[in-house]
Chain A
Amino acid sequence: MDKLMGQLKRQIIERLNLKDLKPEDIGDDQPLFVEGLGLDSIDALELIVLLQQDYHIKLDKAEDGPKVFHSVRTMADYITKHSPAKKAS
């Protein structure tokens, strides 16, 4: 889980061009949107594409978005539970 969260932080920084941030600046449970990292709705779309492109996971229900993308930990949880390999087993 820690490895996955570290990887996600690096991907978020790269994908969203957060050049001033280092992975260690993003807390595992820090909210990604609004009061936390300050991401917005355009970033949400970038994160959805990140899940789909890099982890082959399609968000089933749009209304799950706020919960899934709440923090790096919730994203990692969702990836762990929904990765294609996990589904196949």
Chain B
Amino acid sequence: MQVYIRSSGNISPQHSLEKDLFFAHREMQDGNRWHAVEPEYSRYVDSKMIRRMSRIVRMGVAASKACLDEAEVRMPSGIVTGTAYGCLEDTGIFLRRMIDNQEELLTPTAFIQSTHNTVGAQIALLLKCHGYNNTIVHRGFSFENALMDAMLLLREGMDNVLAGAIDEITEDSHAILSRFGLYIPAIDNPEITAKTHKGSVAGEGASFFLLSSQEIHGARAILRGISTIYKPESLAGVESRIHAFLKESSVLSDGIGLVLSGANGDGDHDEIDNYLSATAFRNKTIVPFKQLCGEYPTASGFALWLAVLLISEQKTPDWLPNVSFPLRNILIHNHYDNNHHALYLISAC
């Protein structure tokens, strides 16, 4: 089933909320934790409402507002969000207070805001949207399953669905995940795929899309399909799934003008990226999008936002490699730790 992407909104370690800035300037951050470039939130949310929102909630609310504003839609029929980590900051605050206060005198605010569905709920509260509201928590497939849920709602007849992905990195989560060896201990070059390391760079962000089953004037792109592969048995197995995916979508491999790859420079998991570069993606322009947003379980939300931007604007920033135009189709191949693989096909309207 294909759906139309009417608009998008994104907050990431790049200036992705402001298109002109994004095209003009690539943000380069030091270290192995890339912070989202956050806007002045009072532009998006009433300052009285902001005070209880943690960073991830603010990011999600602002990205969703930017998305709806772009489509000039005030009320979506449904809201579906995907997050792997949920609201970590408030979870940390709540747990720390439990320990500090010996499980007594606990205030409700941090607890209320610590649940994974807080972002979707806050968006609905602000919009006064009483429609379908669901949050999918499924590790590296959280966003993919949120999108699939949204696509099923559209198939059932809903007009438009706001679908998004949010994940944050906090001091605590970064410290814990660093102990698991997820992040490069000492990074000397933000071009993380230029050489292989042990681990990658922690990223974060919020991506929202307004989806519709009907072609609407001004729609920015077509999402032709999504496919997921969990723990592929072999490298060749992924390659054959890519060919099958394109065939199902009636797009020839030659018709793919750009591949957005989830390669992240992690030597433990990049065998598949190297293999696909030499096989399915041979002779194709490949952009490793995690050089822009870092690694996190819902990073494919950033990739989809980037694909929609490039295909709708029909131009690339000077700092991205040369892409041939007109750009008709973009394939995204993302994987999280080589366990959760996802394919997206995006076409121009």
Contact = CB atoms under 8 A, between A and B. Distances in A.
Interface of A: 16-20, 38, 42, 45-46, 49, 52-53
Contact of A49 (B47, B51, B105, B112): B105
Nearest to B42: A20
B108 A45 contact: yes
Contacts of B112: 42
Given A42-B109, A52-B105, 4 more contacts: A16-B51, A38-B48, A49-B105, A49-B106
Nearest to A18: B51
A21 B51 CA distance: 11
Contacts of B130: none
10 contacts: A16-B51, A17-B51, A38-B48, A42-B52, A42-B112, A45-B107, A45-B108, A46-B108, A52-B105, A53-B105
Interface in B34-61: 47-48, 51-52
Interface residues of B, number: 11
Nearest to A20: B47
Nearest to B105: A49
Residue picked from B47, B52, B107, B108, most chain A C-beta under 10 Å? B107
A46 B51 contact: no
A42 B51 CA distance: 12
Contacts of B108: 42, 45-46
A16 B109 CA distance: 9
B49 to A, nearest CB: 11
Contacts of A52: 105
Contacts of B109: 42, 46
B106 to A, nearest CB: 8
**Top 3 A-B pairs, shortest CB-CB distance:** A17-B51, A49-B107, A46-B107
B47 A17 contact: no
Contacts of A20: 47
Contacts of A17: 51-52
Contacts of A53: 101, 105
A34 B48 CA distance: 13
B135 to A, nearest CB: 21
A45 B106 CA distance: 9
Interface string B248-285: 00000000000000000000000000000000000000
A16 B50 CA distance: 11
Nearest to A53: B105
Residue picked from A16, A19, A49, A53, most chain B C-beta under 10 Å? A49
Contacts of B101: 53
A85 to B, nearest CB: 20
Contacts of B106: 49
A19 B107 contact: no
Interface in B130-164: none
A39 B87 CA distance: 24
A22 B105 CA distance: 26
A42 B109 CA distance: 7
A78 B47 CA distance: 31
Contacts of A38: 48
